[in-house]
């Protein structure tokens, strides 16, 4: 796939995740939002599909382990090769394994990775298989507690065009030790702020806890840094919107991704939401540890979480 600087950006969303997490619902919802949607497309056909002139509308492609040539490495290789030329994003639909088991028991379907065994075997194998894809996803939606209606609402927040604002903003906290999140447009480093890790009473807490937020806020460098970051984004985002970007990702990192970056991410996202932007928050390292309240969520314009 060769790069053509004259070619306009074609937005392509690759929809994947464990079987039963809601991929079919997401594909149908994106189609309702104006996307050209194709489900269960073989991975090897995608480069040929994307050749030639950009399509007049964005494209949503459903991929999972049932595709005969699907591999995580193949999907990530496609993202690496085509991501610079196209507006290619991975939308990963995640779900708690226990809920996936319940959904399979309700539908009485066989799991594609364990057709002759218990669904639990296939679910565990598939989650392990997709671990690298999940960590590289541009957008992650946890459907564990979502109804199909709720999922459609979140997809509207991310991909809808009828809200008068055509760009979604995501703010990610992360650990520099684990590398940059994939697909971020701008990164801020807050490792110079006082680290709550060295306070015994704060070490086990996270940036979601009030005591940690108060400790970080007491650093005299915190307020000026927050003002500078927020001011730069408020200047930059309208220009990116005018350019036609559909999604802008912000990364805020610290050493462990537990305290400072989490607290700053919450404050930056809240300020952007109150400024009228559609904002989602993702705490990558907290998600990996399964910490309550760390799942991806969308903020409305008041800064309140929206299902």
Q: What is the pLDDT of residue 278?
A: 80
Residue 78 dihedral angles phi and psi, to the nearest 5°: -60, -40
Maximum pairwise Cα distance, the chain: 61
Q: How far apart are CA 150 and CA 163, in angstroms?
A: 17
Spans of the chain, pLDDT less than 70? 1-9, 82-87, 107-108, 160-166, 244, 246, 292-307
Q: What is the pLDDT of residue 3?
A: 46
HEC string of 138-174 equals CEEEECCCCCHHHHHHHHHHHHCCCCCCCCEEEEEEE
Q: What is the pLDDT of residue 306?
A: 47
Q: How far apart are CA 152 and CA 139, in angstroms?
A: 14
Q: What is the pLDDT of residue 162?
A: 39
Strand partners for 306: 298
For strands 247-254 and 139-142, give the pairing.
unpaired
Three-state secondary-structure class, residue 98: helix
Q: Where are the domains of the chain?
A: 11-159, 168-306
| Residue 294 structure tokens | 């760390």
Q: How far apart are CA 72 and CA 65, in angstroms?
A: 9
Q: Which CATH superfamily is domain 11-159 in?
A: P-loop containing nucleotide triphosphate hydrolases (3.40.50.300)
Q: What is the pLDDT of residues 122-162, one digit of tens each?
A: 888 888 989 988 888 888 888 888 888 788 877 877 776 53
Spatial CA neighbour of 270 closest among 180, 194, 208, 203: 208
């Amino acid at each position: 796939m060769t790069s053509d600087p004259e070619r306009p950006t074609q937005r392509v969303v690759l929809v994947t995740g464990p079987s039963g997490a809601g991929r079919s619902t997401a594909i149908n919802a994106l189609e309702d939002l104006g996307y050209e949607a194709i489900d269960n497309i073989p991975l090897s056909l995608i480069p040929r599909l994307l050749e030639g002139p950009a399509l007049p509308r964005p494209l949503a492609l459903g991929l999972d382990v049932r595709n005969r040539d699907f591999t995580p490495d193949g999907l990530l290789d496609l993202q690496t090769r085509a991501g610079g030329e196209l507006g290619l994003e991975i939308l990963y639909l995640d779900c708690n394994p226990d809920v996936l088991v319940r959904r399979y028991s309700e539908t009485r379907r066989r799991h594609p990775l364990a057709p002759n065994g218990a669904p639990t075997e296939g679910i565990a194998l598939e989650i392990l298989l997709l671990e690298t894809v999940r960590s590289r996803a541009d957008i992650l939606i946890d459907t564990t507690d979502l109804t199909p209606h709720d999922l459609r609402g979140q997809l509207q927040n991310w991909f809808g065009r009828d809200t008068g604002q055509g760009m979604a903003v995501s703010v990610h906290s992360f650990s520099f030790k684990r590398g940059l999140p994939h697909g971020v447009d701008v990164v801020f480093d807050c490792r110079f702020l006082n680290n709550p890790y060295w306070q015994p009473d704060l070490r086990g807490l996270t940036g979601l806890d009030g005591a940690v937020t108060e400790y970080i806020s007491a650093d005299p460098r915190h307020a000026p840094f927050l003002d500078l970051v927020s001011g730069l984004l408020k200047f930059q985002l309208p220009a990116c919107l005018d350019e036609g970007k559909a999604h802008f990702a912000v990364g805020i990192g610290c050493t462990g991704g537990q305290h400072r970056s989490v607290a700053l991410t919450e404050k930056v996202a809240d300020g952007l939401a109150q400024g009228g932007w559609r904002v989602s928050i993702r705490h990558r390292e907290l998600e990996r540890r399964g910490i309550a309240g760390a799942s991806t969520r969308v903020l409305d314009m008041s800064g309140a979480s929206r299902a």
